[in-house]
Amino acid sequence: MNGLLRQYCPKGSDLSVHGDEHLALVAAELNARPRKTLGWRTPADVLATLQDRPGTPIGSTPPTLPAAFEPIPPCTCDSD
């Protein structure tokens, strides 16, 4: 996860300079990104499946792609 977060804010950057809204948008975008380890499903899809149908194996439903979303621009803050 750290590697994904660093696409938005470089290592050593101070996350406290970003507002809650920006960090929430970054989190939402990361949760909407398909992962190979989840059978190209998104973490949000997997969580919803597990919440809706407890005990259902993660790979038992077909992979889905996330709805279109606008990418969040990379962090412009300076790292220390």
3-state helix, strand, coil in the chain (%, to 5): 45, 0, 55
Looking at the domain assignment, is residue 36 inside a domain? yes
Domain span at 36? 2-55
Looking at the domain assignment, is residue 48 inside a domain? yes
Looking at the domain assignment, is residue 71 inside a domain? no
Q: Are 29 and 69 in contact (CB under 8 A)?
A: yes
Per-residue pLDDT of the chain (80 residues), as tens digits, is: 577 877 888 888 888 888 888 888 888 899 899 988 888 889 888 888 888 776 666 555 554 545 555 556 666 666 55
